[in-house]
């Protein structure tokens, strides 16, 4: 998705990037908390500031369950060493991205949806859940 993210020498200003909508809010909060520096970089002929974690800054992981942290670890391990272009190509192959309208927000849960057919075991499990939690109209 395209949004305007501000990038300047001291704070976030204006540069068009493909990032989640909440990212500028998160980056600004991390900068306000002193956990993020803005490193001056060149993008073509222009100068911009790239957000980088301050050396020695410790993440606050208390908002995440151990299972969520394990998922993050797995995703990092699976994608370690990939370039931004490779990541973009991979994510654009996902069903959620293929069916989204231009500019539409893709919910994180949509990444769990696959175009493949479920296994018989998965079908039985889904039917059991549907029967257990079905609402009566």
Q: Which tens digit of pLDDT belongs to each residue from 89-120?
A: 888 888 777 788 887 777 777 776 676 788 89
- Counted domains in the chain: 2
C-alpha R_g of the chain: 20
Lowest mean pLDDT among 18-32, 58-72, 86-100: 18-32
User: Considering the domain boundaries, does residue 23 fall inside one?
Assistant: yes
Task: Choose between 18 and 54: higher pLDDT.
Answer: 54
pLDDT band at 121 (very low <50, low <70, confident <90, very high): very high
CA atoms within 13 A on the CB side of 75: 10
User: Considering the domain boundaries, does residue 58 fall inside one?
Assistant: no
What SS3 string covers 8-72? CCCCCCCEEEECCCCHHHHHHHHHHCCCEEEEEEEECCEEEEEEEECCCCCCCCCCCCHHHHHHH
Shared domain check, 81 and 110: yes
Structure tokens at 124: 């039985």
Shared domain check, 110 and 70: yes
Structure tokens at 67: 């299972």
pLDDT band at 136 (very low <50, low <70, confident <90, very high): low
Shared domain check, 104 and 73: yes
Asked if pLDDT for residue 10 goes beyond 60, the answer is: no
User: Considering the domain boundaries, does residue 19 fall inside one?
Assistant: yes
C-alpha 98/C-alpha 45 separation (Å) is 34
CA–chain centroid gap for 53, Å, is 17
C-alpha 45/C-alpha 52 separation (Å) is 21
User: Considering the domain boundaries, does residue 61 fall inside one?
Assistant: no
Lowest mean pLDDT among 20-24, 70-74, 76-80: 20-24
Shared domain check, 44 and 81: no
Give the structural domain span for 37.
2-53
Average pLDDT, the chain: 77
Provide the pLDDT for residue 21. Answer: 66
C-alpha 20/C-alpha 3 separation (Å) is 8
Shared domain check, 104 and 46: no
Shared domain check, 81 and 116: yes
pTM confidence score: 0.45
pLDDT band at 2 (very low <50, low <70, confident <90, very high): very low
Shared domain check, 42 and 76: no
1-28 average pLDDT score:
54
The label of the residue with tokens 């949004």 reads: 3
User: Considering the domain boundaries, does residue 60 fall inside one?
Assistant: no
Nearest to 53 by CA among 72, 37, 74: 37
Shared domain check, 38 and 9: yes
């Amino acid at each position: 998705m395209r949004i305007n993210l501000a990038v300047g020498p001291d704070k976030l200003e204006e540069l068009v990037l493909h990032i989640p909508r909440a990212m500028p809010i998160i980056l600004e909060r991390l900068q306000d908390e002193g956990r993020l520096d803005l490193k001056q970089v060149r993008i073509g002929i222009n100068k911009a500031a790239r957000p980088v974690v301050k050396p020695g800054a410790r993440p606050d992981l208390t908002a995440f369950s151990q299972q969520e942290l394990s998922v993050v670890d797995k995703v990092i391990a699976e994608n370690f060493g990939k370039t931004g272009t490779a990541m973009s190509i991979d994510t654009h192959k996902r069903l959620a991205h293929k069916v989204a309208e231009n500019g539409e927000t893709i919910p994180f849960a949509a990444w769990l949806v696959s175009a493949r057919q479920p296994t018989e075991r998965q079908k039985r499990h889904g039917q059991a859940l549907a029967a257990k939690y079905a609402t009566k109209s």
